[in-house]
Chains A and B, each alone.
Chain A
Amino acid sequence: MAKGNEPVFKWSLGLIVGVLFCMGKAFADPVMLKPPQLLLAMQQSMASLNYHGTLAILKNAKLDTLQYFHAVQKGVEQERLLSLNSPLREVIRDVDAVSCIYKASQQVVIDHKPIGQSFLQALPEIPAVLDSSYDLIAEGDEHVALQPVDVLLVKPRDQFRYARKFWITKQTHLPLKIEVQDFTGETLEQIIFTDLRVVEQLSSVAVEVKDKKVQHIHQFDDLGLDKLPLQLKHLPVGFEKRVFTRMHLHPSDKAVEQLLLSDGLSSVSVYLEKNPQNFHAGLQTAGAVNSLSRVIGDYSITVIGDVPAATVELIVQGISFSKS
């Protein structure tokens, strides 16, 4: 540094330290929304803003990086993922289907869904539904990717579901980082935006099927909850029946019935399959997902979801067929 610049440098350094001190003091005590307001603001921002960025997803000890786009046009959301690593693919989530376009094989798989759930995190339409089973805890502020964030922990009141931790930007209220944690606080899954941009306009993309092999999977019939032939005696607090459908499994084309349960954050499916083949009645685990099966008469019952093993076990044990 030139000698003559030293006083200016010292002056600047002093001022910068002063400014940082003042700002640090101002944010030393968490000046943030209350936890329910923060959750509502995050839900509203996630659903209504146009944004895109690079997403790092850590699941089952594997790291994937994807380009993420969220567009809203006339109130209709669309999520789009572009893989940055092989196999190169584009995944588009519309309201009622997830379309996966494979670049190499020029194949399109359209996976029909009864309920649209964000790739980032499913959130309840009414945050108050979480009150019965979760505590919302503000954990102060931090920085993620150089952006100031509020930290919100959604902590379960029992051991039948996982905790979620959100790092929410102060400016836009979008989540920069989301963690799924078990009851000991160990991280099971992590999603981080390494960069995130909010833009005024972002066009939705139509799934291009021309000159491609198109396959529709999981097309379903909504049977209605009143047609449910099962009784669930042991349902953890907060879990509600959402939809009961019949679909054909991919790729075996076997007909199964699916009951979807949710507590607002965690979801569980109960599958009912007649005369299953090569069936194991037992527990299977992959990361945060657990599945447990049992056989009742000619039917196999499988409970699967992003919940602890204790939850699928509790639900399976309480299932019986209705007398009617």
Chain B
Amino acid sequence: MAEPGVTQRLAAAGAAFTDPPAEGTVSTEPGALDAAGTRSPLSGLLGPAGGPVTFEERPFVGKLTLRGDPSNADFMAAAGKVLGTDIPTDPCRFVEHDGFRVHWIGFDNWLIHVPEGAEGPLKTKLEAALEGIHSAIVDVSDYYTVIRVQGAKARRLLQKGCPIDLHPRTFGPGQCAGTVFHHAAIFLAQTDADTDGGASYDIQIRWSFARYLWDYFVDGAREWGG
């Protein structure tokens, strides 16, 4: 085994790893702690490079859920002002503004994606702006991770387990949906359409289901040389 196990790599990253006094055994988990002492669920895993479908983890995307009453003009105005854009009221749509992405999840429920680290300041700003208005902002950055799937076969790969119709006639850039991929609940957003008939999707998946989904993608991409 040329590849060092997680124990060794964790040790290299400065983490103690023994249950006193027993020395641990080698793990098959490839991920290790990063320099900041944090670790994402798919850390270290690599998807197929090149080829008609590629996928990769986007670790630590900042994620906030925003709850509020869309019929409350004060709420809509205050939230929109902080975000710099009207929050979407059309079902299954998202808007992008200044590195923020605001997704419609439910009629009173939005998911905001921001660059890593921006979630804290944004939460503070939103909470201040929504003071006295019934609303809730919850940091779920670590609840989920995001897998970006793209390429000519991206849609085919997703349709191996996702029952919603991703055909360009019914689903396109700017659309998002809560749905399933076999046993996993996923939140899917189409970020852009490629020119070669493929597309790019961000799949938000719960931390504990991320490996399952990843392994499914790895297995599913094999027929295209993944």
Partners in one complex: no
Residues of A at the B interface (CB closer than 8 Å) are: none
